[in-house]
Amino acid sequence: MSVPPRYRAKSRVDVSGEESRAKAVAVATELFALTGFKGTSVAAVAARTGLSQSGLLHHFPSKAALLTAVLEERDRQDGDFLAGSAGPPLGWAAFDALAALVARNSTRPHLVGLFVRLAAEATEPAHPAHTWVREHYSGLQRWLGDAVRSGQERGEIAADAPVGSIVRTTIAVIDGLQQQWLLQPDEVSMTAEFEAFAGTLRARWAR
Amino acid sequence: MSVPPRYRAKSRVDVSGEESRAKAVAVATELFALTGFKGTSVAAVAARTGLSQSGLLHHFPSKAALLTAVLEERDRQDGDFLAGSAGPPLGWAAFDALAALVARNSTRPHLVGLFVRLAAEATEPAHPAHTWVREHYSGLQRWLGDAVRSGQERGEIAADAPVGSIVRTTIAVIDGLQQQWLLQPDEVSMTAEFEAFAGTLRARWAR
């Protein structure tokens, strides 16, 4: 089947732009994780991506925009990880999925450090990643809240378990453990602590 | 009894220096909390303290040093608050003291924001507040660990309760709730969530 040339041309341009964009995000993730946000220049990201600096700035108007894209990509990947191949995990299985995510994070200190520092900075409403950080938390709360409510419907979590509290505290434990782990990597096992916490929740609210 | 003049003179100088220092810390706390670390100039702190800028820099060689002093003072005040008038609270009483501290923090969003952002930034080893943040966490862990072990000795906490896990997770919950509360102040009650968490711990480990 023949396709009008201008559509093919347009399609090639889009694909190439999308590829450059994705490559820049991958390069920036690696550099931010290795040398930090402040220690990474837009020029270095452009060079490794194979773009001119103005070419990179065409996709991302600022280093902050690049960082937001890195974090959105991280959320997307974590989202895929949490979603599971057979649909989102329900009930206690969601806590197993979170434990697996925490275990994966334990192998990525630079990325965890980047996330912890950025999420804290971005609590300021004027910060360029403020919208991202708000959506990150509300998205995670929604995902875990849905899982806990499904667990209640399936009868594996007590009907009177306080969903909102369980959700907020579980996310708080993950965040707070990251902070301590970054400071005391040899003393804190995020995975063991998170599993112990999930075990306590289960002992209290499993039906 | 007569005292050699040079010692008296030295003592007067020290007291006055100590007063200026304490006043600068109080002023900086107020300004950092109101306008943020970046939005506060050394000149503004000096002016409100009644010192020249070089006079302030004599006590604190940089704005970062001033910030570290602010946070050390916050830790000292929180330490006094947690210590209680009748000695450090033991066993579950330590969790009640923490709940009261969380309730007090709920009235100080600017100071909580400052702490959250700085504690995250300072996870980087080169950060000027890195030593402070490490000592902050190890001090809090020691205080709560001692309280839980006392609770075990007094027979109010199960002898097989995992002290390290309880300590780290409790601190993680406090930190993580601050992060969510800064983003969603109307949706998150740090005090209610912390009390629910402490209730879950108690249900699991009280004897």
Given a cut of 90, is residue A50 above it in pLDDT? yes
Q: Give the mean pLDDT of chain B.
A: 89
Residue B10: band (very low, low, confident or very high) from pLDDT cuts 50, 70, 90: very low
Which tops the pLDDT comparison, A100 or B36?
A100
pLDDT average, residue stretch B25-49? 89
> What phi, psi does B52 have (nearest 5°)?
-75, 165
Asked if B20 and B51 touch (Cβ cutoff 8 Å), the reply is: yes
Q: Which of B113, B175, B200 is facing A175, going by the closest CB pair?
A: B175
pLDDT tier at B38 (50, 70, 90 boundaries)?
confident
Q: What are phi and psi of B51, to 5 degrees?
A: -120, 160
The reported pLDDT for the residue numbered B83 is: 80
Higher pLDDT, A9 or A59: A59
Categorize the per-residue pLDDT at B15 as very low, low, confident or very high, splitting at 50, 70 and 90: low
Does position B7 have pLDDT exceeding 80, yes or no?
Answer: no
Between CA A2 and CA A135 the distance in angstroms is 43
pLDDT of residue A15: 59
For residues B120 and A117, is the Cβ–Cβ distance under 8 A? yes
| CA B115/CA A91 separation, integer angstroms | 34
Cβ A136 vs Cβ A71: under 8 Å: yes
Distance of residue A45 Cα from the nearest chain B Cα, in angstroms:
22
Which of A4-8, A111-115, B89-93 comes out lowest in average pLDDT?
Answer: A4-8
Domains of chain B: 1-61 (1.10.10.60), 68-205 (1.10.357.10)
pLDDT greater than 80 at residue A1: no
Separation CA B33–CA B113 (nearest Å): 8
Sorting pLDDT into bands at 50, 70 and 90, what band is A83? confident
Mean per-residue pLDDT, B138-159? 97
* Residue that wins the pLDDT comparison between A75 and B144: B144
CA dist A55 to A12, A60, A66, A181, B193, Å? 17, 9, 13, 38, 48
Interface test with A, best of B115, B132, B168, B182 (most A CBs within 10 A): B168
pLDDT one-digit tens code per residue, A147-165:
999 999 999 999 999 999 9
Which residues numbered 91-150 in A keep a CB inside 8 Å of some CB on B?
113, 116-117, 119-121, 123-124, 133-134, 137-138
pLDDT(A5) > 80: no
| Range of weakest confidence among A1-5, A16-20, B94-98, B116-120 | A1-5
Share of chain A above pLDDT 90, in %: 66
Average pLDDT value for residue range B28-32 = 89
Query: Between these two residues, B14 and A118, which has the higher pLDDT value?
Result: A118
| Separation of alpha carbons B204 and B26, rounded Å | 42
Lowest mean pLDDT among A53-62, A179-188, B13-22: B13-22
Q: Which of A5-9, A105-109, B90-94 has the lowest mean pLDDT?
A: A5-9
B204 touches chain A (CB under 8 A): yes
User: Could you tell me the CA-to-CA distances from B76 to A36, A95, B81, B82, B147 in Å, in that order?
Assistant: 32, 37, 9, 10, 18
